[in-house]
């Protein structure tokens, strides 16, 4: 399954709402989609699994949703620490695949 993330870069200000898209080339079994955040020089961190379940310790400003083969990560109000790279990943079928990433940068 190919995952296409858009936009490639999102330029926003702190306090604004961020909407990140991940489109799958085919149906993702059982909503088996996750989102990760990665900052420079760090390992990825799990944010969302099962398309909409927040991982342990993730603030509720992060939310995930799906509509068919379209998945969305929403950050309701950007905090300074949220400016980073975000990846989606499907685990509904083998091989596991990741999207190409969306960079959220400070405007």
Partner 1 sequence: EVQLLESGGGLVQPGGSLRLSCAASGFTFSDNAMTWVRQAPGKGLEWVSSISSGAASYYADFVQGRFIISRDNSENTVYLQMNSLSAEDTAVYYCAQRRQWLEYWGQGTLVTVSS
Classify burial at 51, counting beta carbons within 10 Å of its beta carbon; exposed 0-12, middle 13-18, buried 19 or more.
buried
Pick the closer one to partner 1 by CB: 13 or 94: 94
Pick the closer one to partner 1 by CB: 80 or 95: 95
Closest CB 26 distance from partner 1, rounded Å: 17
The SS3 assignment for 29 reads helix
Chain residues in the site for partner 1 (CB under 8 A): 32, 34, 36, 42-46, 49-50, 55, 87, 89, 91, 94-101
In whole angstroms, what is the distance from residue 99 CA to residue 80 CA?
24
Closest CB 88 distance from partner 1, rounded Å: 10
């Amino acid at each position: 399954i190919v995952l296409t993330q858009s936009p490639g870069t999102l330029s926003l200000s702190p306090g604004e709402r961020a909407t990140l898209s991940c489109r799958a080339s085919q149906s993702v079994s059982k909503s088996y989609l996750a989102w990760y955040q990665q900052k420079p020089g760090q390992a990825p961190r799990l944010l969302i699994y099962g398309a909409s379940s927040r991982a342990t310790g993730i603030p509720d400003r992060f939310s995930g949703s799906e509509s068919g083969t379209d998945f969305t990560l929403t950050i309701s109000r950007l905090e300074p620490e949220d400016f980073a790279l975000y990846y989606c990943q499907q685990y509904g079928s083998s091989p596991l695949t990741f999207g190409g990433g969306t960079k959220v940068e400070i405007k």
